[in-house]
């Protein structure tokens, strides 16, 4: 009975490398022999009747040795069965008897009597095969040229393809000639038994149950079978069967393969890749993939397995918004993982980002130059298009599209069209790309922003000076205010302006009110708090993924912290991402940034980059500490308000606070948080009308 090819691969193996059995296509039997011999298969199966032994009339061919080899007979690409190939080695037995007159006179009396000695030998070889419930006999005809006929010498072999058999069966083979001149040869072989491999999932873990004989010592290796280059080992251990191997669900990728072999000299090794077509493994592969910039203009996509993807360059403007593709004029690039590729650029720029797509779906985006060239700049990208007869046109890339310079559009680039054209002609713009079809230029906008705000700053300075003079008129009030300002600068100035991005799942209106209360209280520390409750308009305009990507990038570049607020809904969503790679459609509102944020948060935790950049928190009585997924415990996960001192100390950073100041702030935040927390703990139907907390003017982000 045919069995799946990957199970046969696991059961059999001819050498200490990854198994590769020869595959025979089609049901037809065949015969072939050694060079110089001729052979063919006579008809179909025959009756197995050895008969009695007879004397050889002269030199005859007889079988001397049997040899078998395991092959696969495949009726379709994945419909293969085990088959036994049999090779029969032949030799010449007996010799020609000399006539009496030749013995007497020392030569042949008749030249025609010399002819039999120079004739070829022919034999009919029978192969009998038994393996329950199969019983077959086939007849092979072999002819040996006269030049090969040397009594007592081997002349070669004839090979039959093949006898089908079941995995684990015992096969018996006989061989003799017809008529039979010698006792038949016999050979018995036990085919390898088929071990079983079961894959089962249990929450975040995957169990590989390997059915190996009890007490048998064997080696087990997990490796990545890469298309480009050699295999990459990942895990190896010597074990005793039977055995169950536990893997984390996030470790599964399509090219993860298993190799097993007995711990014996010259043992065979068998290999299978059971996750090749697993959808979870393919999603995990994109999560662990990483883009890396290689100076001066090289880049590489690092991944354990091969990927079918395309890469394009895009322009990311500061303040969020989608990254605008530069195709055309720049071309798309086919991605080869773990291989250095070159950008078609003259210069790098922090606003240039790389997008990797597969099957027209955006999988990842990285602004590779932001780490080496600093944060995003408020530059405008000019696209130059060159036509025939030295005709060229210039437009500025903006969120609404590419705006022609010197146009009457109501955009920033159109209003500053003449100035930008002068900057380009005077060499103040940086050329990023150039070829026969066009060019890309990055022109700074800082000086135009400074000119617009110069009068505003002057008015502000005048207002501050007048205010200072008014305060001097009331010295007593000024002294108290200065004492307060001195302490605030000395103790809290180190943390002023540090960003904190709050991520949460909007379980219900009460929980949103609780998050808003916490955000408003943290604004008084002082901290620059970013939360989607206060950015609904930007979320609707940009989309959750783009908004979060921009806020996360800005927060981490400024040395801030990303706060993960765990709730029952957030924990459920995390488990869905870890198991299925995406949340259920329609389960979250369009402005819920937590569902969009997981696609960027998870790679930092999987690649060990979360420490010092993330902190977890949950509210007392709303969530059990053990409910937080294991993956996120790589960073501190604190309970609020019971662990509020440690929470605020982590947000402020080392050396930013003193005990007395911290104690006052803990009481202030806890006191503001407690009413909203009590409201969440009330039974349904008794909660107060929901409201949204907002920071005071000047603290909102």
pLDDT in tens, 142-166: 999 888 888 888 899 999 999 988 8
Cβ proximity of 332 and 317 under 8 Å: no
pLDDT band at 3 (very low <50, low <70, confident <90, very high): very low
pLDDT at 195 over 70: no
214 CB-near residues (< 8 Å, 6+ apart): 241, 242
Indicate the SS3 state at residue 584.
coil
- At 517-527, the pLDDT tens digits run 999 888 887 78
In the prediction, which pLDDT does 8 show?
46
- At 499-512, the pLDDT tens digits run 899 999 888 888 88
∠ Cα 672 674 678 (to 5°): 140
pLDDT band at 113 (very low <50, low <70, confident <90, very high): very low
Let me know if the fold of 23-95+120-190 is the same as that of 499-579+592-681. no
Indicate the SS3 state at residue 27.
coil
Average pLDDT over residues 99-123: 57
In the prediction, which pLDDT does 438 show?
85
The pairs formed by 132-137 with CB atoms below 8 angstroms and a separation of 24 or more are: 132/169, 132/170, 134/163, 134/164, 134/165, 135/48, 136/45, 136/163, 137/45, 137/46, 137/47, 137/48
The CATH number given to 499-579+592-681 is: 3.40.50.11530
SS3 assignment for 549-608: HHHHHHHHHCCCEEEEEECHHHHHHHHHHHHHCCCCCCCCCCCCHHHHHHHHHHHHHHCC
In the prediction, which pLDDT does 474 show?
64
* Tokens encoding 694: 């907002």
In the prediction, which pLDDT does 10 show?
42
Instruction: Tell the CATH topology of 23-95+120-190.
Output: Immunoglobulin-like (2.60.40)
Indicate the SS3 state at residue 662.
helix
Sign of the four-CA dihedral 505, 507, 509, 511:
negative
- 227 versus 138: the higher-pLDDT residue is 138
Distance CA 9, CA 628 (A): 41
Give the strand pairing for 561-566 and 499-503. Answer: parallel
The per-type count for the chain, helices as H runs and strands as E runs, is 15, 35
Indicate the SS3 state at residue 320.
coil
- At 353-409, the pLDDT tens digits run 888 988 888 888 888 777 778 888 888 899 888 877 777 888 888 888 888 887 777
In the prediction, which pLDDT does 243 show?
80
* Tokens encoding 420: 């930008």
Average pLDDT over residues 468-495: 55
Give the number of other CB atoms < 10 A from CB of residue 404.
Answer: 15
Distance CA 696, CA 701 (A): 10
In the prediction, which pLDDT does 657 show?
58
Beta strands in 484-581 (DSSP E): 499-503, 528-530, 561-566
Cβ proximity of 526 and 344 under 8 Å: no
Distance CA 145, CA 155 (A): 10
Does the domain at 196-280 match CATH 2.60.40? Answer given as yes
Average pLDDT, the chain: 79
Closest CA to 433 of 382, 396, 389, 373: 382
In the prediction, which pLDDT does 617 show?
93
- At 241-281, the pLDDT tens digits run 788 888 888 888 988 888 877 777 656 567 778 888 888 88
DSSP-assigned states of every residue in 228-273: SSS-EEEEEEEEESSEEEEEEGGG--TTEEEEEEESSTT---EEE-
CA trace torsion 465, 468, 472, 478 (10° rounding): -170
Cβ proximity of 159 and 32 under 8 Å: yes
pLDDT band at 546 (very low <50, low <70, confident <90, very high): confident
Give the number of other CB atoms < 10 A from CB of residue 453.
Answer: 11
pTM above 0.75, yes or no: no
Closest CA to 411 of 425, 400, 427: 400
Report the chain's C-alpha Rg in angstroms: 40
Using a pLDDT cut of 70, give the percent of the chain over it: 80
Q: Looking up tokens 């985006």, which residue turns up? A: 365
Per-residue DSSP letter, 468? H
Distance CA 51, CA 124 (A): 14
Closest CA to 206 of 307, 281, 303, 287: 281
Distance CA 253, CA 227 (A): 14
Helix (H) / strand (E) element for 285: namely: helix 279-288
Cβ proximity of 611 and 635 under 8 Å: yes
Distance CA 133, CA 396 (A): 80
Distance CA 68, CA 85 (A): 5
- At 306-338, the pLDDT tens digits run 888 898 888 998 877 888 888 777 888 888 888
pLDDT band at 452 (very low <50, low <70, confident <90, very high): low
Distance CA 274, CA 380 (A): 50
pLDDT band at 493 (very low <50, low <70, confident <90, very high): very low
Q: Where are the domains of the chain?
A: 23-95+120-190, 196-280, 301-377, 379-465, 499-579+592-681
Closest CA to 627 of 579, 581, 566, 576: 566
Average pLDDT over residues 636-644: 91
- 197 versus 488: the higher-pLDDT residue is 197
């Amino acid at each position: 009975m045919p069995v799946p090819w990957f199970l046969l691969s696991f059961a059999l193996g001819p050498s200490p490398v990854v198994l590769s059995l020869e595959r025979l296509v089609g049901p037809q039997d065949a015969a072939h022999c050694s060079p110089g011999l001729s052979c063919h298969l006579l008809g179909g199966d025959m009756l197995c009747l050895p008969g009695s032994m007879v004397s050889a009339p002269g030199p005859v061919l007889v079988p001397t040795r049997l040899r078998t080899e395991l092959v696969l007979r495949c009726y379709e690409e994945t419909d293969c069965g085990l088959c036994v190939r049999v090779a029969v080695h032949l030799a010449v037995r007996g010799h020609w008897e000399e006539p009496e007159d030749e013995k007497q006179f020392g030569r042949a009396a008749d030249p025609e009597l010399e002819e039999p000695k120079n004739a070829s030998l022919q034999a009919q070889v029978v192969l009998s095969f038994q393996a329950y419930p199969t019983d077959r006999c086939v007849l092979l005809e072999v002819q040996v040229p006269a030049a090969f006929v040397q009594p007592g010498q081997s002349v070669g072999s004839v090979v039959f393809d093949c006898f089908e058999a079941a995995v684990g069966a015992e096969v018996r083979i006989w061989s003799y000639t017809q008529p039979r001149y010698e006792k038949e040869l016999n050979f018995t072989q036990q085919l390898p038994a088929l071990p079983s491999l079961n894959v089962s999932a249990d929450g975040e873990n995957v169990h590989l149950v390997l059915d190996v004989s009890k007490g048998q010592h064997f080696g087990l290796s997990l490796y990545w079978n890469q298309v480009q280059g050699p295999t990459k080992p990942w895990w190896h251990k010597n074990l005793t069967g039977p055995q169950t191997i536990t893997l984390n669900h996030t470790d599964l990728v399509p090219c993860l393969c298993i190799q097993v072999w007995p711990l014996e000299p010259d043992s065979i090794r068998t290999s299978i890749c059971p996750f090749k077509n697993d959808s979870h493994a393919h999603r995990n592969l994109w999560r662990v993939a990483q883009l890396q910039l290689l100076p001066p203009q090289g880049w590489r996509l690092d991944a354990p397995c091969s990927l079918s993807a395309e890469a394009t360059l895009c322009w990311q403007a500061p303040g969020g918004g989608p990254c605008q593709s530069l195709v055309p004029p720049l071309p798309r690039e086919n991605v080869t993982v773990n291989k250095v590729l070159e950008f078609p650029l003259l210069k790098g720029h922090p606003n240039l980002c790389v997008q990797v797509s597969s099957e027209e779906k955006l999988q990842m985006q990285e602004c590779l130059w932001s780490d080496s060239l600093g944060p995003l700049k408020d530059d405008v990208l000019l696209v130059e298009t060159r036509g025939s007869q030295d005709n060229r046109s210039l437009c500025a890339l903006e969120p609404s599209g590419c705006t022609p310079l010197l146009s009457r559009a109501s955009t920033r680039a159109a209003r500053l069209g003449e100035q930008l054209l002068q900057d380009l002609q005077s060499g103040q713009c940086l050329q990023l790309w150039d070829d026969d079809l066009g060019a890309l230029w990055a022109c700074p906008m800082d000086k135009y922003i400074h000119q617009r705000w110069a009068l505003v700053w002057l008015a502000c300075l005048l207002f501050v000076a007048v205010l200072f003079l008014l305060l001097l008129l009331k010295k007593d009030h000024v002294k108290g205010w200065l004492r307060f300002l001195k302490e605030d600068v000395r103790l809290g100035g180190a943390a002023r302006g540090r960003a904190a991005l709050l991520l949460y799942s909007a379980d219900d209106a009460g929980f949103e009110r609780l998050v808003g209360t916490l955000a408003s209280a943290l604004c008084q520390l002082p901290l620059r708090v970013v939360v989607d409750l206060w950015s609904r308009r930007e979320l609707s305009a940009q989309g959750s993924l783009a908004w979060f990507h921009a806020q996360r990038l800005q927060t981490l570049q400024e040395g801030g912290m990303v706060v993960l607020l765990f709730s029952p809904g957030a924990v459920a969503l995390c488990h869905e991402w870890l198991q299925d790679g995406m949340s259920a459609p329609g389960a979250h509102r369009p402005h819920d940034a937590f569902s969009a944020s997981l696609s960027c948060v998870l790679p930092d935790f999987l690649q060990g980059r979360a420490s010092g950049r993330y902190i977890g928190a949950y509210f007392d009585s709303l969530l059990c500490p053990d409910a937080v997924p294991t993956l996120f415990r790589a960073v501190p996960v604190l309970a609020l308000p019971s662990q509020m001192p440690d929470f605020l100390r982590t947000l402020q950073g080392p050396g930013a606070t003193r005990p007395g100041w911290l104690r006052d702030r803990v009481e202030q935040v806890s006191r503001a948080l407690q009413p909203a927390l009590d409201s969440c703990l009330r039974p349904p139907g008794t909660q107060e009308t929901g409201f949204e907390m907002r920071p005071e003017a000047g603290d909102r982000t």
